[in-house]
Amino acid sequence: MSSLLIVGADRLGSIPKKLEGLGFNEIIHMDGRKVQMVKKEIPSHIDLILVLTDFINHNLTAVLKRRAMEQAIPVCYAKRSWCSIYQAIGKCDYCCSNLKSCQLTKER
């Protein structure tokens, strides 16, 4: 079971369905534009954080990176396009540590 936190972008469109196809069972989205988002904590059950760099508060990115390091959660950075997201997750530490169950390595 894998859970993913997506930070950035106002709308995700079909991205969550495609991520479910890669094996993510729970996908949580935070838009990341408002200043108050900096105060929110990372849920404890998150396995991977995906930051969509096109639409995010820069201060939130720094705070998120620090908190993720403290909790040992890998962070991937991508633009809001499926191609960029797919490549970022494939190069991320999360994919490498879960190699046996990773859908990305099976497709290569």
Which neighbouring-strand residues pair with 76?
A: 50
pTM: 0.81
Query: The tokens 């404890």 sit on which residue?
Result: 44
Which neighbouring-strand residues pair with 88?
A: none
Side chain identity at residue 30, one-letter code: M
Number of domains in the chain: 1
Residues 6+ apart with CB under 8 A from 86: 18, 104
Domain of 59, CATH number, reads 3.40.50
Which neighbouring-strand residues pair with 6?
A: 29, 50
* Enclosing domain of residue 72: 3-107
Give pLDDT tens digits for 41-51: 899 899 999 99
Give pLDDT tens digits for 35-83: 777 888 899 899 999 999 887 878 888 999 999 999 999 999 999 899 9
